[in-house]
Structure 1
């Protein structure tokens, strides 16, 4: 029998225990990894159990698991590094979220392709005992004395070099943008009633799973209190209770750095004849949207703290805040930021996806074929790096749609929603695609899910609702929705003026003149934008009819033919 002397263990871990640990991991639906990732971990484990403790070569993984030809060259094809990086991330997130439930852990150490099995309880116990010494960096007296006597001169030289390096770093930092990372959060759930504690724990576990699907936050488990490698940024406190025929979650988001509450609220579900699982399914998506969307209090706080020139996570958040029709100078800043983020980390799936989407925005409906082709390329790369990411799939959906491949875009949109059915941004953008192509009912159905949390409802949802109101001739509702929507949205402005024109309101001409004083080609640009958005011809004609009614000189833009 072969034994694994895992770190933190007092006794060898048998093959039977190791195999059982691996089987449990792969069977757990909370372990979010692709089938390709599972195949890789099984392949590495098979070599481990056959006695190859030193691991295998990346070339073998590429040939035997990933189907690469014998001519595979890792210097030209980084697929193995990408897949292993993704697999290690999935393992880290899984044990960070659910490690408190498990006795054993599986890991693939960096630097080699092998697998280890660790007794978590003993490892944490040992870590706790030695944490003070490790944090303070105090070696034993004998080692300290020996190093002092034998290496004094070399250490002095190294110290001087370190001081010089520090000076250079400080100078460099003044001109180098900060590479920001995703905020680290901690989640605590309590139940006032002993009988509700199991339900509360299940809601917390389901919430963690939902938050990891967004991939906008880094989640810290309570078992990592002794890990001082990174400071906590935010705490989410929740209380689960039952009152007046409802089950509710009170929650508050606290900024640890500022020691202040950013946001708090109560979300409730009627208890009437509902099972615990039904209540959980109703309340978890709402909580996840509060905490993890790009417009959540946490992410808006991160954006507020960042510098406009920061790269990394702050840049991604900034890109996701832009309206669909943004002024060119602002778009250039966003594109530049995303390009620099990719330069620092070409394998960042989220950055690839964000840049792919940003390249598709058009302020006037004109098609940039070069930008569109690069967008498709970046979206494909984002999906290759992270096939389960709804950000990557959403970018792929949009790149296909604006390239004219509508059916493919709709198929990819469905896949994105299956991976994260709770993301209002994905729901809204997919609803917009369905709406513009004439799938009215399905589009409106999706907007209802995207509107569950009004504070994070994306502009695309409001756009769908406003266009649907116009389609049905509800001019007053169009005007009301337009007033609630971002004023920089050119299509919303056009809808509002067209609705006023249909009503015969004198305000229609006033508002149209105001817009055309800055943009004389406003109506023709709207026609081009609607074509770019692949809006069905009858609705395009209806909108332009309203704009023509608002026009003082009676000038008309006519839509002819299909897109």
Structure 2
């Protein structure tokens, strides 16, 4: 029998578009995924957990012990395939025997020499995964001591906690085997007096390039607070959205290859590229990639989260690129949260969407949910502090940001925006200027912060120079009347900045 991949794909498309399957979204995703994995040689690795999380959009903490979804859908799929082939001729039959989730390809009752008509569908174009995927990460923990010590117990506890922590991050995929990973996080532990010393190495699997290394210590009998603090620091340096070295390196690596970026990667790749090079051009590229992805896969929850985030940046940076900003932002945020309720980032961006629309109570509630869902994500913690500040709890907000920034990890310079606003609003202009000097790569914010700080410190000439640079960035910044993409100065926290800018502007008019 001819098992050429194109014949199998053609048969899959025929099934997915047949009357029995056409309206069954879950069954179609199930079948597409198991065919894809079987063709890739991973049929023996299919199980309820990876089908639920990779194909059916369930959260990483999905438990087949308590939720029989996959078993039920597998039974339905087998019956539907049997009914399909009872009334349809085919050169190849796709079946899923009982006792396995891998599919088999059997000879059908139509001559093989008949060339199939391959009609790509929005569900299964080239068997592209229906959800945007990030890099694969493998975790290895080992003890260097020659004989069993307390380090052995710490190693087991730490590995378990790290796996649970990493599973909360949707932009990476955990894999068990290093040879199937894009990156490997190695932790070597050894006894060091009354402590346990950890040697941490993060490497790119394909090139063996060292991405990050660090040495940390834990007490020989660490409590849960000790382990949580360690997990937080590791996450901030490896997988967190704003600072994770895995994500940044992966995005750069994907762009460096002499090949098109895979369709299930490009939305995330270009979004990460924008976060590390915040410019109008990189924003447009990220937005276009995300919108194109959602045209083909409108329920790609990761792409929806990215689109919602980009809507937020469109407002904060006043790019005015997203059409019908309020509607687009709300739809993307709501849908992403509905598709993946366990996604902390979806709750976080929905919270800021609610703030944008004036619903401060729901904003605060969603911020808390996001934080509880993933307390190890420094990106979410930053937005949590910012949200508290903007909704009126200024001291709690600035405290959250200051606590976060005390952690050792590579912080984007725009993390200084909220501390600047707080210092300026409290009339601590010298401190405000020092913070403003650190904001160098966040649209007009650096120029604006320095402009008002210099003015309040009596340095009018330098203030006017910054104002000129500010107007070169966006000449209409102070008089935007677009009700759908509201002026950034509609926020209470920026009222004092706005009034100061208007004072400075009067000097030019005079």
Aligned to 1:252, the other structure's residue is in SS state strand
Specify the alignment match of 1:470 in structure 2.
Answer: 424
Cα distance in 2, alignment partners of residues 471 and 508 from structure 1: 18
Specify the alignment match of 2:284 in structure 1.
Answer: 332
Specify the alignment match of 1:112 in structure 2.
Answer: 74
Structure showing greater radius of gyration is 1
Give CA-to-partner distance per residue, 1:354-392, whole Å, 9 cap, x none: 112213422438797823112211222111111000122
Q: 2:248 aligns with which of 289, 295, 300?
A: 300
Specify the alignment match of 1:204 in structure 2.
Answer: 159
Change (3 A) 1:206 1:268: same
Give CA-to-partner distance per residue, 1:185-205, whole Å, 9 cap, x none: 211112334221111111111
- The 5 Å alignment of 1:152-231 reads 181-193=133-145, 194-222=149-177, 231=180
Cα distance in 1, alignment partners of residues 389 and 489 from structure 2: 10
- The 5 Å alignment of 1:421-436 reads 421-436=375-390
Matched, 1:287 2:234: yes
Change (3 A) 1:424 1:318: farther
Aligned to 2:324, the other structure's residue is in SS state helix
When the two chains are superposed, the root-mean-square deviation of aligned CA atoms in Å is: 4.6
The answer to whether the 8 Å contact 1:293/1:456 transfers is: no
Give CA-to-partner distance per residue, 1:196-250, whole Å, 9 cap, x none: 111111111101111110122221225xx8xxxx832111111234547654422
Cα distance in 2, alignment partners of residues 213 and 340 from structure 1: 27
Shift of 1:313: 3.2
Cα distance in 1, alignment partners of residues 26 and 73 from structure 2: 16
The answer to whether the 8 Å contact 2:135/2:183 transfers is: yes
Cα distance in 1, alignment partners of residues 428 and 400 from structure 2: 20
Specify the alignment match of 1:129 in structure 2.
Answer: none
Change (3 A) 1:330 1:417: same
Count of residue pairs the alignment pairs up: 421
Specify the alignment match of 2:207 in structure 1.
Answer: 258
Give CA-to-partner distance per residue, 1:380-439, whole Å, 9 cap, x none: 211111100012212211222212222111111111111001112111122222212321
Give CA-to-partner distance per residue, 1:10-64, whole Å, 9 cap, x none: xxxxxxxxxxxxxxxxxxxxxxxxxxxxxxxxxxxxxxxxxxxxxxxxxxxxxxx
Cα distance in 1, alignment partners of residues 287 and 352 from structure 2: 17
Cα distance in 1, alignment partners of residues 343 and 70 from structure 2: 22
The answer to whether the 8 Å contact 1:367/1:532 transfers is: no
- The 5 Å alignment of 1:451-462 reads 451=405, 453-458=407-412, 461-462=415-416
Shift of 1:179: 9.7
The answer to whether the 8 Å contact 2:301/2:340 transfers is: yes
Give CA-to-partner distance per residue, 1:475-510, whole Å, 9 cap, x none: 233233233334333233211211111111232222
Cα distance in 2, alignment partners of residues 416 and 533 from structure 1: 26
Q: 1:544 aligns with which of 493, 498, 502?
A: 498
Shift of 1:284: 1.2
Q: Which moved more, 1:106-115 or 1:355-364?
A: 106-115
Shift of 1:328: 4.5
Specify the alignment match of 1:124 in structure 2.
Answer: none
Change (3 A) 1:377 1:87: farther
Shift of 1:346: 2.9
Cα distance in 2, alignment partners of residues 487 and 504 from structure 1: 25
Change (3 A) 1:282 1:438: same
Specify the alignment match of 2:3 in structure 1.
Answer: none
Give CA-to-partner distance per residue, 1:163-194, whole Å, 9 cap, x none: xx9xxxxxx99xx9x99742222111123342
Shift of 1:261: 0.7
- The 5 Å alignment of 1:400-439 reads 400-439=354-393
Cα distance in 1, alignment partners of residues 181 and 470 from structure 2: 47
Specify the alignment match of 1:34 in structure 2.
Answer: none
Give CA-to-partner distance per residue, 1:293-312, whole Å, 9 cap, x none: 12311111111022386543
- The 5 Å alignment of 1:351-362 reads 351-360=303-312, 361-362=314-315
The answer to whether the 8 Å contact 1:88/1:107 transfers is: no
The answer to whether the 8 Å contact 1:469/1:475 transfers is: yes
Change (3 A) 1:543 1:375: closer
Taking structure 1 as the reference length, the TM-score comes to: 0.63
Cα distance in 1, alignment partners of residues 157 and 325 from structure 2: 45
Specify the alignment match of 1:134 in structure 2.
Answer: none
Structure 2 unpaired stretches of 5+: 1-19, 34-46, 55-59, 62-66, 78-105, 119-124
Taking structure 2 as the reference length, the TM-score comes to: 0.69
Cα distance in 2, alignment partners of residues 480 and 352 from structure 1: 37
Matched, 1:236 2:188: no
Q: Which moved more, 1:545-554 or 1:201-210?
A: 545-554
The answer to whether the 8 Å contact 2:181/2:205 transfers is: yes
Specify the alignment match of 1:380 in structure 2.
Answer: 334
Cα distance in 2, alignment partners of residues 534 and 83 from structure 1: 46
Q: Which moved more, 1:75-84 or 1:344-353?
A: 75-84
Aligned to 1:213, the other structure's residue is in SS state coil
Structure 1 unpaired stretches of 5+: 1-72, 99-104, 116-146, 166-171, 557-563
